[in-house]
Amino acid sequence: MTETQEIKKGLAGVVVDYTAISKVNPDTNSLLYRGYPLQELAASQSFEEVAYLLWHGELPDASQLAEFLRVEVSQRGLDASVKAAIDLLPTTAHPMDVTRTAVSVIGACDPNADDASPEANLAKSIRLFAKLPAIVAYDQRRRRGQEAVAARDDLNYSENFLYMTFGEVPAPVVVAAFNVSMILYAEHSFNASTFTARVITSTMSDLYSAVTGAVGALKGPLHGGANEAVMHVFDEIGEASAVGAWLDTALAEKRKIMGFGHRVYKSGDSRVPTMEASLRTLIEHYNRPDMQELYDALEADFVARKGIYPNLDYPSGPAYNLMGFDTVTFTPLFVAARVTGWTAHVIEQAASNALIRPLSLYNGVDERHVK
């Protein structure tokens, strides 16, 4: 390796492998899941159908969907071992730490954890998809001093998730917005957490280890934790009239404003208009024009000053806040959605595997010897 070789910090612009799961179409500024524009899927499909699509490559027919739902519903409960592990953790622990631990416990208790066949990995994927709502819901409830709410088998995925979190099924407009958010967060090609999962899989480790590692990567504020950071910014600003002064200070201090910018999108995140539309339905439902005013004011001022547009986390943060989720629960919601994409990539990586092991260019001291 020579000193003239170019370093691609963060692997920016480096194409490391093929994937048939998703792509950004630059001509339409659209994210495609298995060839389908994400906007079309969010407008017409349930999250369950989109999960099936990511794993199988095609949308399910009626019989396939019915069988998938039967399996998913049967595994919704909060396992005693997982609950016991969560109860050992302090309520001050970040929910992403709780989620990471819960996934690891599920893996440790699965006698087939090391079976990497496509059939076994698909079964594990569905298991995590089914169980994560109970984990996320219980952790929020325990931090509020509330007991766990048992899953119901007469509700769809989004209805049941919200029911286990809040003890009741909210209005259809809330369920619809939640379903859209899950679809939008489900998959996004070789992002940091997905690449983490693929790296772990490339070592021939198990799917649970790959997902556990991906959860850790998603916790960071430059990735999944950005939706939490957006809400902290909203709370800090308070109201629309304070945006200008707040931005003056934040930019003078060179603070990174989360919820804006994306390495992949140069003309704005293609997922934002769909989530913004859902956010507006929630603002109307909860009669919160103040939220809309703050949202619009911060976006307009920041874009005018920096020319950087919102990403998906910007509308998702206030949407989850209006639904009633604690800010620290936002990123575990991302986990519940992205586990579909992660596991689809694990299965794809395992099917055509090569150990992922990039090189580095040494810039330390020259060779020396112990005296």
Positions annotated as catalytic residues are 223, 262, 313
Cα separation, 159 vs 164, in Å, equals 9
Cα separation, 345 vs 197, in Å, equals 8
Quick check: 177 and 278 in contact, CB under 8 A? yes
Neighbours of 299 (CB within 10 A): 19
Alpha carbon separation from 27 to 20, 192, 285, 345 (Å, rounded): 18, 24, 35, 25
